[in-house]
Amino acid sequence: MNNIVIFFILFQDATKKLARDAFCSWVRAYTAHRGELKKIFMVKKLHLGHVARSFGLKEQPSLVGRSHQVQLKKRKKEQKREQPAKRRKLPSKK
């Protein structure tokens, strides 16, 4: 069953993005446990490869985060290009 989900996600860009976002959100939520629960939910002992596989991701978790950050950087660059360039005002000599 898991292979069918992975195959479906692999060839659908929209579902791949949703799976990546869900994985990242899940890891953030898992690490956010406080106090006594930290002893139960130990992130360092968690095998993130298995967790990623459960979300239908075939990639390593480090690659998932990296590709997400690359996409964010591209969006920021595109937004900067769309905005008109700001010109510095030179101090006037008196």
What confidence tens digit (pLDDT) does each residue in 34-57 have?
Answer: 878 878 888 778 888 888 888 888
pTM assigned to the model: 0.59
Q: Phi first, then psi: what are they for 87, rounded to 5°? A: -105, 140
Asked if the structure places residue 59 within a domain, the reply is yes
Query: The domain containing residue 25 runs over which residues?
Result: 2-72
In a domain, 40, yes or no: yes
Query: Is 22 domain-assigned?
Result: yes
Domain presence at residue 65: yes
Residue count of the chain, please give it: 94
The neighbour count for residue 47, using CB atoms within 10 Å, is: 9
For residue 88, is it within any domain?
A: no
pLDDT band at 64; cut points 50, 70, 90: low
Structural domain total, the chain: 1
31 neighbors 43 (Cβ within 8 angstroms): yes
